[in-house]
Protein backbone atom coordinates (compact mmCIF):
# COMPACT_ATOMS: atom_id res chain seq x y z
CA UNK A 1 0.00 0.00 0.00
CA UNK A 2 1.43 3.37 -0.96
CA UNK A 3 1.72 6.39 1.31
CA UNK A 4 -1.05 8.04 -0.69
CA UNK A 5 -3.32 5.09 0.00
CA UNK A 6 -2.55 5.11 3.70
CA UNK A 7 -2.99 8.85 4.01
CA UNK A 8 -6.42 9.66 2.76
CA UNK A 9 -9.03 7.79 4.72
CA UNK A 10 -8.10 10.02 7.62
CA UNK A 11 -10.79 12.38 6.56
CA UNK A 12 -13.20 9.75 5.30
CA UNK A 13 -16.64 10.80 6.44
CA UNK A 14 -15.00 13.72 8.24
CA UNK A 15 -18.28 15.46 8.79
CA UNK A 16 -20.62 14.23 11.47
CA UNK A 17 -23.60 12.10 10.57
CA UNK A 18 -25.81 14.00 13.01
CA UNK A 19 -26.45 17.68 13.49
CA UNK A 20 -24.35 17.86 16.65
CA UNK A 21 -21.01 19.60 16.21
CA UNK A 22 -18.10 20.42 18.39
CA UNK A 23 -15.10 22.41 17.24
CA UNK A 24 -11.94 20.34 17.67
CA UNK A 25 -8.52 20.90 16.22
CA UNK A 26 -8.61 18.63 13.11
CA UNK A 27 -4.80 18.43 13.04
CA UNK A 28 -2.14 20.94 13.85
CA UNK A 29 -2.05 23.86 11.46
CA UNK A 30 1.10 24.19 9.42
CA UNK A 31 1.55 27.87 8.52
CA UNK A 32 4.70 26.96 6.62
CA UNK A 33 2.43 25.16 4.15
CA UNK A 34 0.54 28.28 3.13
CA UNK A 35 2.14 28.02 -0.37
CA UNK A 36 0.63 24.52 -0.61
CA UNK A 37 -2.77 25.98 0.25
CA UNK A 38 -2.21 28.40 -2.62
CA UNK A 39 -1.53 25.42 -4.93
CA UNK A 40 -4.97 24.09 -3.92
CA UNK A 41 -6.49 27.46 -4.82
CA UNK A 42 -7.14 28.60 -1.25
CA UNK A 43 -10.58 28.05 0.24
CA UNK A 44 -12.37 28.53 -3.12
CA UNK A 45 -10.15 25.86 -4.67
CA UNK A 46 -10.71 23.47 -1.77
CA UNK A 47 -14.46 24.02 -2.06
CA UNK A 48 -14.37 23.20 -5.78
CA UNK A 49 -12.17 20.17 -5.08
CA UNK A 50 -14.66 18.83 -2.55
CA UNK A 51 -17.52 19.24 -5.04
CA UNK A 52 -15.60 17.11 -7.54
CA UNK A 53 -14.51 14.64 -4.86
CA UNK A 54 -18.09 14.09 -3.67
CA UNK A 55 -19.32 13.60 -7.25
CA UNK A 56 -16.66 10.95 -7.81
CA UNK A 57 -17.45 9.16 -4.54
CA UNK A 58 -21.18 9.11 -5.29
CA UNK A 59 -20.43 7.58 -8.70
CA UNK A 60 -18.16 4.96 -7.13
CA UNK A 61 -20.16 1.86 -6.13
CA UNK A 62 -17.59 1.11 -3.42
CA UNK A 63 -18.18 4.44 -1.65
CA UNK A 64 -21.70 5.43 -2.62
CA UNK A 65 -23.24 3.62 0.39
CA UNK A 66 -21.24 5.79 2.77
CA UNK A 67 -22.42 9.06 1.22
CA UNK A 68 -25.76 8.63 -0.55
CA UNK A 69 -27.83 9.26 2.59
CA UNK A 70 -25.68 11.88 4.31
CA UNK A 71 -25.61 15.66 4.37
CA UNK A 72 -23.12 15.96 1.53
CA UNK A 73 -23.01 19.75 1.52
CA UNK A 74 -21.92 19.72 5.16
CA UNK A 75 -19.34 16.98 4.51
CA UNK A 76 -17.87 18.93 1.61
CA UNK A 77 -17.77 22.17 3.61
CA UNK A 78 -16.11 20.55 6.61
CA UNK A 79 -13.53 18.73 4.51
CA UNK A 80 -12.62 22.02 2.83
CA UNK A 81 -12.41 23.69 6.27
CA UNK A 82 -10.27 20.87 7.63
CA UNK A 83 -7.82 20.99 4.74
CA UNK A 84 -7.67 24.80 4.91
CA UNK A 85 -6.83 24.76 8.63
CA UNK A 86 -4.24 22.02 8.22
CA UNK A 87 -2.57 23.96 5.41
CA UNK A 88 -2.24 27.09 7.53
CA UNK A 89 -5.22 28.98 6.19
CA UNK A 90 -7.32 31.44 8.12
CA UNK A 91 -10.23 29.05 8.41
CA UNK A 92 -12.18 27.45 11.23
CA UNK A 93 -12.98 23.74 11.26
CA UNK A 94 -16.56 23.11 12.42
CA UNK A 95 -16.59 19.30 12.32
CA UNK A 96 -15.98 16.67 14.96
CA UNK A 97 -12.72 14.83 15.57
CA UNK A 98 -12.05 11.72 13.51
CA UNK A 99 -12.81 9.18 16.25
CA UNK A 100 -16.17 10.73 17.06
CA UNK A 101 -17.04 11.21 13.37
CA UNK A 102 -16.44 7.57 12.54
CA UNK A 103 -17.73 5.97 15.74
CA UNK A 104 -20.15 3.21 14.81
CA UNK A 105 -19.05 3.07 11.17
CA UNK A 106 -17.47 -0.02 9.69
CA UNK A 107 -14.59 1.19 7.57
CA UNK A 108 -11.95 -1.23 6.35
CA UNK A 109 -8.79 -1.02 4.25
CA UNK A 110 -10.70 -1.56 1.00
CA UNK A 111 -12.93 1.42 1.80
CA UNK A 112 -9.86 3.42 2.69
CA UNK A 113 -8.13 2.53 -0.58
CA UNK A 114 -11.21 3.39 -2.63
CA UNK A 115 -11.44 6.80 -1.01
CA UNK A 116 -7.77 7.49 -1.69
CA UNK A 117 -8.19 6.57 -5.35
CA UNK A 118 -11.15 8.92 -5.66
CA UNK A 119 -9.33 11.75 -3.92
CA UNK A 120 -6.36 11.31 -6.25
CA UNK A 121 -8.67 11.52 -9.25
CA UNK A 122 -10.27 14.71 -7.90
CA UNK A 123 -6.91 16.36 -7.15
CA UNK A 124 -5.58 15.42 -10.57
CA UNK A 125 -8.71 16.85 -12.25
CA UNK A 126 -8.00 20.11 -10.43
CA UNK A 127 -4.35 20.09 -11.56
CA UNK A 128 -3.03 20.21 -8.01
CA UNK A 129 0.72 19.64 -8.17
CA UNK A 130 1.74 16.15 -7.08
CA UNK A 131 4.19 17.54 -4.51
CA UNK A 132 1.41 19.58 -2.89
CA UNK A 133 -0.89 16.57 -2.85
CA UNK A 134 1.80 14.59 -1.06
CA UNK A 135 2.47 17.34 1.49
CA UNK A 136 -1.19 17.38 2.48
CA UNK A 137 -1.40 13.58 2.56
CA UNK A 138 1.69 13.35 4.75
CA UNK A 139 -0.03 15.53 7.35
CA UNK A 140 -3.27 13.57 7.13
CA UNK A 141 -1.57 10.15 7.26
CA UNK A 142 -1.45 9.69 11.05
CA UNK A 143 -5.20 10.22 11.28
CA UNK A 144 -5.94 6.95 9.42
CA UNK A 145 -5.67 5.06 12.72
CA UNK A 146 -8.68 6.99 13.97
CA UNK A 147 -10.81 6.09 10.95
CA UNK A 148 -10.32 2.43 10.07
CA UNK A 149 -12.37 0.49 12.56
CA UNK A 150 -10.53 -2.24 14.53
CA UNK A 151 -13.30 -4.78 13.91
CA UNK A 152 -12.88 -4.38 10.15
CA UNK A 153 -9.17 -5.08 10.16
User: Any idea where the domains of the chain sit in the sequence?
Assistant: 3-152
Q: Does residue 76 have a pLDDT over 70?
A: yes
More confident residue, 112 or 9: 112
Q: What is the rounded distance in angstroms from the CA atom of residue 42 to the CA atom of residue 89?
A: 8
Average pLDDT over residues 66-70: 88
Q: Does residue 57 have a pLDDT over 50?
A: yes
More confident residue, 5 or 100: 100
What are the angstrom distances between the C-alpha of 101 and each of 17, 89, 111, 134, 137? 7, 23, 16, 24, 19
pLDDT in tens, 24-36: 445 667 778 888 9
Tell me which fold the domain 3-152 belongs to: Globin-like (1.10.490)
What phi and psi values does residue 20 have, to the nearest 5 degrees?
Answer: -75, 135
Amino acid sequence: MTLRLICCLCFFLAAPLSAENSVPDPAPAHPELRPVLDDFGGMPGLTALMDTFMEIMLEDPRLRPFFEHTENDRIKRQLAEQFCVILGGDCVYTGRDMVESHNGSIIDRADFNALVEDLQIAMDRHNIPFRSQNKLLAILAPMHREVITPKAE
